[in-house]
Structure formats: structure tokens, C-alpha cells
A and B are shown apart, each in its own frame.
Chain A
Amino acid sequence: MSELDDELMQRFQKGDEGAFTLLVRRHQQPLINFIARFINDRDSAEDLAQETFIRMFKAAHRYQPGRARFNTWMYHIASNLCKNELRNRGRRDRYRVENVVSNGRDADGDTEQVDLIASAPADASFQPDVQLERKELRKAVQKAIAELPEEYRLPLVLRDIQGLSYDEISKVLELRSGTTKSRINRARLMLKDKLKSFMEPL
């Protein structure tokens, strides 16, 4: 995947703009997922993802294949944009947004089918209680993640939701490997404490 990204970036640097479109198509979904989970706002996630790609487009000549991975660079730009966005929101005193999108998506952006009545006849293993529990759990997890301090939330999202390696996270956040590991462990412990009340009755 990394080699293909490098090749596409080299093509783009030589003037092939179609290569950049292909890069966007390959990375748009994980990028939007990362931003939405980090800032807990699906609508702004697309705007920030667009801004990330625009910045990469403009600064493409600075990318040097082999020195950094494309996705590390992308997450680095995106995380800086997200931090700025959260800072601006803090200033405007409208940090958390819990909106229900009119097309049926939840505030956490799940695209999974949640219409229990409609899905009941078609799904043989359908269990309304389990579905509801799962949905509640997802909401609780997203809420708990959103409540984590920023310096712990970012590595947690990169590790457990985006699946980046510790090395990659260290490069994205410009942290030492040991610091990254300890922050992720600390973030997970905080998450566990926040979800304790939800999980213990189970």
C-alpha cells in the first residue's frame, strides 16, 4: 500500500493530476473516519478532510518518497487541523455537537442499519435487545472517547480505530516511542474507567 502511495505521489509530482485523485479515493474513508472519531462531529469531518487533501495537494513537492509514509503525513496534517478546530471551538464555546443527520445517520456517523422494525423479518439472527445494546455501547464508547483529554484521545484513535502501528503514531505525533506507548495505555485505562458503569452490569 505504501509503495503504491509513493508511486502515485511521484506521478503527481511529475504532473499527473489523476494520480492525486486516486490517492484521495484510496484514503478519504479512513481519513474522514479518523477526523470524525477524533472531533466527534461527522459534518465537520468532511470539511477538515477536504482541507487536509488541499494542503497535501499544495505541498506535494515537499513529499519525499522513502523518507515518510504517505498516511503518516496525511494523519499528521489532519491531526494538526483537528487540534486547531477544537481550539477554535473551545473559543467559540461550542465544543460538543450531537446532531442527528437528516438522512438517518447517528451523531457518531454510523452507517449501519439501525431501523429495527425494517430489518427484523429479513435477519434470521435478529435480536432486538442485542442490537440495541450494541448501539448503546457504540454511543457510550464514542462519548467516552470524546471526553478523553486531547493528548490521550489522539493516540488512542490512531491506534485502536485507525489501526496504525506504534512507530507510525510516534511519527504522526512527533513523540518518542515510549511516550506513545504510555499514552495509549493511559488512554485505554481512562476509557475503561469511563465505560465501567456501562459494562459492569453486563
Chain B
Amino acid sequence: MNCLQAEEHFSAHFEDALDYQTLQAFEAHLAACEGCRHEHALFQESVIAAQQLPQIGTSPYFMPALQQRLAEEQPERLSFWRQLIQVVNRPRWAFSGMMLLIFAAASIYFYHRDIVDWNARPTAIRDTQTSQQEGQVTRPLRTGLSAVPTLNNSRQFSPGSSMSSQPMQQHYVLKTVSYASTPTRGGL
């Protein structure tokens, strides 16, 4: 360690922040160099003198004058967008918002994928499934083959083809409804 390098470590040495190896080299240099020893002593004295400067007190007029000025001032109000940005900027809110967005995007993706899957099935299979379900009270479910809509107004999809080029096919299921066994209790 030379004198310039030693001088760079004066503060770290004063604050006891040198690692062991640097400390050894620093102290070895000080032991060998009288000039640095002298400068180091002056350095320590001057830092201690600065640290021991007395605190400057507050005048008795400070607080009343400040309170008078504060009474005339109003805290600034944030606009709606700045408030929103501030909320989003908070780490936990930002994280929650991000997760919510990811969840929403994933839901939309799977929802549309299921519709495309259903519409991409061959018409014959769908008709068979529809006829098997005929006469039952059906509930339109989007997934699985067990349920079919009673009124199927669909277009045939195939990858790569545009929707407008395909003819629209409509499937109607007519039900016969009898009211013979329905009690009317004296009414019609």
C-alpha cells in the first residue's frame, strides 16, 4: 500500500469498516510512514472536531411563525388518475393486480378455446348426440358430449377457412308437448 492508497482508507479506518487484509496493510503502512501517521492523526482530530460541533437551537418564534403559515396553506389534492397510479405503484397492489390480469386472460383464452373445439366437431357427431338427448330436459353445457343445445345455431369451423365462406346450418329440435295430464284445478 502506498501513501495515496492509504489516504483513500482514512474514512473507512476511522469508521472501523476495513476488512482484515486491508486493515493489516493499512496499519503496516502507517507504522512505516511517518508522514501518513501524522496526516492520519490530523484527519481523526478534524473529523472529531466536526462531529462535536454543538447543535444549533431553534428560536422561540419558529413554531408560531410556522403554524401561522401552515394555517394559510392547504395540502395539495391528488387527481383520480394520480391516486390510481399511486395505488398501483404499491408493491402488493401491483402484484395482486398482475395476478388478476393473468387469471382473467387465462379464463378468456380457455373459454374461447372450448367454443372453437365444440364447433370444430363434425356435424354428424353433433347431430347424433342431439338426437340421443331428444325428449330430455337438456341444459346447454359447453364442454363434454353429454349435453347439447336444443336450438343449435352454429357455423362450421375449420382451421384456415374464413367464416363467411361457410354456409350457415341450423338444427331445430321440435318437441311435442301434451297438457292432458296437467292439473288445472278448475281453470283452463
Contact = CB atoms under 8 A, between A and B. Distances in A.
Interface of A: 17, 20-21, 24-25, 28-30, 32-33, 36-37, 42, 45-46, 49-50, 53-54, 57-62, 64, 108-112, 137-138, 141-142, 144-145, 156, 160-161, 181-182, 184-185, 188-189, 191-192, 195-196, 199-200
Contact of A58 (B14, B54, B65, B75): B75
A144 B8 CA distance: 21
Q: Which 7 A-B pairs have the closest CB atoms?
A: A109-B56, A185-B11, A111-B57, A192-B46, A160-B50, A33-B56, A195-B46
A25 B62 CA distance: 10
A189 B69 contact: no
A20 B74 CA distance: 13
Contact of B58 (A32, A37, A144, A184): A32
B78 interface: yes
B37 to A, nearest CB: 14
B50 A64 contact: no
Interface of B: 7-8, 10-12, 14, 39, 42-43, 45-47, 49-51, 53-59, 61-63, 65-67, 69-70, 73-78, 86, 89-90
Which one of B10, B14, B58, B73 has the greatest number of beta carbons of chain A within 10 Å?
B58
Contacts of B66: 24, 50, 53-54
Nearest to A50: B66
A142 B63 contact: no
A160 B42 CA distance: 16
